[in-house]
């Protein structure tokens, strides 16, 4: 199924959940999700919830890296609820040095 | 005596008696006498031989009994038996001398054989030791070489890197593959990240283009309004008549300007549309560039990791086995070294053999003394006192030589270390 991005903003963190396929075709939604938050001001923490992510390709990794650059090194980004396959791909990409994976 | 005679010469007696009987039966008396003569001669000769043998045997038996009873050394036996020789008659003395000479010759022959055997033994031993030493030395060298090879293998296995450029190290190969995979993944990530950055820029551009389009539309509206305004101005100028003639020209110019503006805004609108289409195409291409299936890299990484794990296990096994081989090789080297050390008994054996040879030579010298004494005894019964001096000197010399041998043996015993017992 085509990817869907949902955003929920809490007190301390912004949760961006990606369901279905996390690929190039969700980039606009994904970008809008964090740009909207960033336009309001600096977010203390981002949480990327991949519980519903079935598939993830290199463009998704590229988007996460762009986000990492966009928010700056002071803002924490957690990637949570990864499926084993997704987590393996993130580890291959050496994401554990840039994000907090769980 | 008769009984001994008959027992010892029964065949010649029987044959000659039978011949005499046959000759007596013949009619010729001459032949009978001749036969009788032959019989008498044979019988007389045989009786004499029998008596001589019996006497010699008796005196020898007596001398042997006397020697055993007094328990004297062998070299003293000849001198003690000399009075017996002197007292016996000439025939028995000659027999005794002959028997003694024969015994001495036999003893010398046996001694010669012993010395020959000692010599042969020495050569065999020396040859065998030389071969063994050579073989063990070769074995030791080969074992050392093997040990060096095994150690170098262990080193290369434990390091996982090859010292020589041409050597193939599976571990290094796997590491290089892993490094290449990491590079590939990093490259894909870099491309994807840049592509997504580019996509964002394109999106921004598309948004700006939309703004441009909207602006151009506004310009078109203004041109339309200007045109209407010019048309109104022309109407008003016509109404003014001659006075408004110049104004009508201006209104006409404004109208043509508004037409030009409308035309350009339409052109710009079309161009913006084209640019947006191009950006859409660029977006598609960038999407293709940015979207790479990471499962390929994932599977490759898994294969490499698995290979690395297998390689590590193999290396561990090989290392363990090589350690064992090294232990065995070390053991072999130690054993061979012990064997080479053990081969040094050659020196001792050579010394012992040399000493045996010297002892045999001493016995020969003593035998020589005995022979000399015998020839003196048989040749000059008259000059016994005169020939006693050279014999005594000979004996003294032989004793001196054997004493030297004895001293030498003692010295060799002192020279050799360890618990090997030599002669005393």
| Cβ atoms of A43 and A78 closer than 8 Å | no
Q: Is B189 on the interface with A (CB under 8 A)?
A: yes
Higher pLDDT, B335 or B404: B335
Distance between CA B299 and CA A89 in Å, rounded? Answer: 10
**Does this chain's domain B72-159+316-424 share its CATH topology with B170-292?**
yes
| Test the A interface: residue of B178, B181, B193 with most A CBs within 10 Å | B193
Distance between CA B40 and CA B30 in Å, rounded? Answer: 16
Shortest CA distance to A31 belongs to which of B422, B227, B413, B204?
B204
> Beta A53-56 vs A76-80: how paired, if at all?
unpaired
Distance between CA B342 and CA B336 in Å, rounded? Answer: 10
Q: Is A24 on the interface with B (CB under 8 A)?
A: yes
Would the pLDDT of B46 be above 90? no
B342-360 pLDDT, tens digit each:
777 777 888 888 888 888 8
Q: How many CB atoms lie within 10 A of CB B363?
A: 19
Q: With beta carbons under 8 A apart, name residues in chain B contacting A30.
A: none
Distance between CA B202 and CA B100 in Å, rounded? Answer: 136
Would the pLDDT of B419 be above 70? no
* Superfamily per CATH, domain B170-292: Methyl-accepting chemotaxis protein (1.10.287.950)
> Beta A4-9 vs A45-49: how paired, if at all?
unpaired
- Residue ranges per structural domain of chain A: 4-101
- ipTM of the modeled complex: 0.92
Torsion angles phi and psi, residue A56, rounded to 5: -145, 125
pLDDT (mean) for B327-333: 88
Can you tell me which residue has the tokens 């990327």? A48
B204-227 pLDDT, tens digit each:
999 999 999 999 999 999 999 999
A77-86 pLDDT, tens digit each:
999 999 999 9
| Cβ atoms of A84 and B298 closer than 8 Å | no
pLDDT band at B301 (very low <50, low <70, confident <90, very high): confident
Residue B355 CA from chain centroid, whole number = 37
* pLDDT at position B268: 94
Q: With beta carbons under 8 A apart, name residues in chain B contacting A85.
A: 295, 298
| Test the B interface: residue of A26, A32, A62 with most B CBs within 10 Å | A62
Q: Is B188 on the interface with A (CB under 8 A)?
A: yes
Max intra-chain CA distance, chain B: 225
| Cβ atoms of B303 and A94 closer than 8 Å | no
Q: What stretches of B241-293 show up as alpha helix (H) in DSSP? A: 245-290
The continuous run of DSSP H or E covering B226 comes out as: helix B170-240
- Cross-chain residue pair B199–A93, CB shorter than 8 Å: no
Structure tokens at B26: 């013949």
Q: What is chain A's mean pLDDT, rounded?
A: 91
Q: Is B194 on the interface with A (CB under 8 A)?
A: yes
Would the pLDDT of A87 be above 60? yes
Residue A53, C-beta contacts closer than 8 angstroms, at least 6 positions apart? A18, A19, A20, A21, A22, A82, A83, A86
Q: Can you tell me whether residue B200 is helix, strand or coil?
A: helix
Distance between CA B42 and CA B9 in Å, rounded? Answer: 10
Q: What helix, strand, coil percent values describe chain B, rounded to 5?
A: 90, 0, 10
- Cross-chain residue pair A59–B295, CB shorter than 8 Å: no
Higher pLDDT, B312 or B89: B312
- Cross-chain residue pair A63–B196, CB shorter than 8 Å: yes
Max intra-chain CA distance, chain A: 35
DSSP A30-88: HHHHHHHHHHH---SEEEEE-TTEEEE-HHHHHHHHHHHHHH-TTSEEEEES--HHHHH
pLDDT band at B233 (very low <50, low <70, confident <90, very high): very high
Q: Is B178 on the interface with A (CB under 8 A)?
A: no
Q: Which of A23, A31, A93 has its CB closest to that of B200?
A: A31
Torsion angles phi and psi, residue B360, rounded to 5: -60, -40
Q: With beta carbons under 8 A apart, name residues in chain A contacting B304.
A: none
pLDDT band at B388 (very low <50, low <70, confident <90, very high): low
Structure tokens at B126: 């020396």
Q: With beta carbons under 8 A apart, name residues in chain A contacting B295.
A: 85, 89
Can you tell me which residue has the tokens 């001293």? B407
Shortest CA distance to A32 belongs to which of A52, A14, A11?
A14
Distance between CA A31 and CA A49 in Å, rounded? Answer: 15
Q: Is A94 on the interface with B (CB under 8 A)?
A: yes
Beta pairing partners, B97 = none
Can you tell me which residue has the tokens 């490094």? B179
* pLDDT at position B73: 43
Beta pairing partners, A8 = A15
Higher pLDDT, B262 or B40: B262
Shortest CA distance to B46 belongs to which of B6, B100, B87?
B6
| Cβ atoms of B100 and B335 closer than 8 Å | no
Q: Which of A27, A58, A85 has its CB closest to that of B199?
A: A27
B356-385 pLDDT, tens digit each:
888 888 888 888 888 777 665 544 444 444
Pick the CATH number of A4-101 from 3.30.750.24, 3.40.190.10, 3.40.50.460, 3.90.190.20: 3.30.750.24
* pLDDT at position B89: 63
pLDDT (mean) for B218-239: 93
The continuous run of DSSP H or E covering A100 comes out as: strand A100-101
* pLDDT at position B226: 94
Q: By percentage, how much of chain B surpasses pLDDT 70?
A: 78
- Cross-chain residue pair B290–A31, CB shorter than 8 Å: no
Q: With beta carbons under 8 A apart, name residues in chain A contacting B177.
A: none
CA distances to A85, B87, B104 from B249, in Å? 78, 196, 174
* pLDDT at position B103: 86
Q: How many CB atoms lie within 10 A of CB B247?
A: 15
Higher pLDDT, B277 or B48: B277
Q: Give me the residues of A, 25-84, that contact B with CB < 8 A.
A: 25, 27-28, 31, 56-59, 61-63, 65-66, 69
Q: What is chain B's mean pLDDT, rounded?
A: 79
pLDDT (mean) for B74-88: 45
* pLDDT at position B82: 46
> Beta A45-49 vs A100-101: how paired, if at all?
unpaired
A54-63 pLDDT, tens digit each:
999 999 999 9
* pLDDT at position B29: 66
Residue B408, C-beta contacts closer than 8 angstroms, at least 6 positions apart? B355, B358
Q: With beta carbons under 8 A apart, name residues in chain B contacting A69.
A: 193
DSSP B77-125: HHHHHHHHHHHS-HHHHHHHHHHHHHHHHHHHHHHHHHHHHHHHHHHHH
* CATH class for the region spanning B72-159+316-424: mainly alpha
Q: Give me the residues of B, 282-301, that contact A with CB < 8 A.
A: 287, 290-295, 297-298, 301
* pLDDT at position B224: 93
Shortest CA distance to B131 belongs to which of B338, B343, B335?
B343
Least confident range of B16-20, B83-87, B168-172? B83-87
Instruction: Tell me how close the Cα of A10 comes to any Cα of chain B, in angstroms.
Output: 26
- Residue ranges per structural domain of chain B: 1-62, 72-159+316-424, 170-292
Distance between CA A55 and CA A22 in Å, rounded? Answer: 6
């Amino acid at each position: 199924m085509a990817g869907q991005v949902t955003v929920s903003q809490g007190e301390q963190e912004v949760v961006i959940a990606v369901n279905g396929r996390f690929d190039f075709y969700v980039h606009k939604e994904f970008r809008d999700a964090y740009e909207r938050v960033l336009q309001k001001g600096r977010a203390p923490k981002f949480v990327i919830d991949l519980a519903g992510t079935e598939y993830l390709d290199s463009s998704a990794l590229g988007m996460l890296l762009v986000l990492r650059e966009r928010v700056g090194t002071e803002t924490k980004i957690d990637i949570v609820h990864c499926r084993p396959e997704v987590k393996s791909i993130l580890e291959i990409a050496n994401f554990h040095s840039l994000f907090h994976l769980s | 005596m008769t009984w001994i005679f008959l027992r010892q010469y029964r065949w010649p007696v029987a044959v000659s008696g039978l011949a005499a009987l046959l000759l007596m039966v013949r009619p010729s008396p001459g032949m009978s006498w001749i036969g009788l003569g032959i019989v008498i001669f044979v019988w007389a000769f045989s009786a004499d031989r029998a008596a001589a043998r019996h006497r010699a045997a008796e005196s020898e038996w007596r001398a042997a009994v006397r020697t055993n009873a007094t328990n004297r050394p062998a070299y003293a036996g000849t001198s003690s038996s000399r009075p017996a020789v002197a007292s016996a008659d000439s025939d028995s003395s000659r027999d005794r001398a002959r028997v003694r000479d024969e015994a001495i010759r036999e003893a010398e022959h046996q001694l010669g054989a012993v010395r020959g055997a000692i010599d042969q033994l020495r050569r065999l031993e020396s040859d065998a030791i030389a071969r063994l030493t050579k073989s063990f030395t070769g074995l030791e060298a080969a074992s050392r070489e093997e040990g060096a090879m095994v150690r170098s293998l262990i080193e290369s296995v434990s390091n996982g890197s090859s010292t020589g450029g041409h050597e193939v190290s599976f571990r290094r190969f796997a590491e290089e593959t892993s490094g290449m995979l990491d590079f590939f993944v990093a490259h894909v990530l870099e491309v994807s990240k840049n592509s997504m950055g580019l996509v964002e820029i394109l999106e921004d551009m598309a948004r700006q283009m939309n703004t441009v389009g909207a602006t151009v539309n506004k310009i078109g509206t203004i041109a339309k309004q200007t045109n209407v305004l010019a048309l109104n101005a022309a109407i008003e100028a016509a109404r003014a008549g001659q006075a408004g003639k110049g104004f009508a020209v201006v209104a006409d110019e404004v109208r043509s300007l508004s037409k030009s503006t409308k035309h350009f805004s339409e052109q710009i609108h079309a161009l913006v549309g084209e640019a947006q289409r191009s950006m859409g195409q660029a977006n598609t291409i960038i999407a293709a560039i940015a979207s790479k299936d990471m499962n390929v890299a994932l599977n490759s990484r898994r294969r490499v990791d698995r290979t690395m794990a297998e390689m590590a296990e193999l290396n561990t096994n090989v290392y363990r086995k090589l350690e064992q081989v090294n232990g065995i090789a070390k053991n072999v080297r130690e054993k061979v070294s012990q064997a080479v050390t053990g081969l040094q008994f050659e020196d001792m054996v050579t010394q012992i053999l040399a000493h045996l040879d010297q002892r045999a030579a001493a016995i020969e010298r003593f035998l020589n003394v005995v022979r000399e004494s015998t020839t003196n005894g048989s040749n000059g019964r008259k000059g016994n006192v005169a020939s006693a001096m050279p014999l005594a000197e000979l004996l003294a010399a032989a004793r001196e030589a054997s004493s030297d041998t004895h001293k030498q043996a003692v010295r060799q015993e002192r020279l050799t270390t360890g618990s090997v017992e030599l002669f005393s």
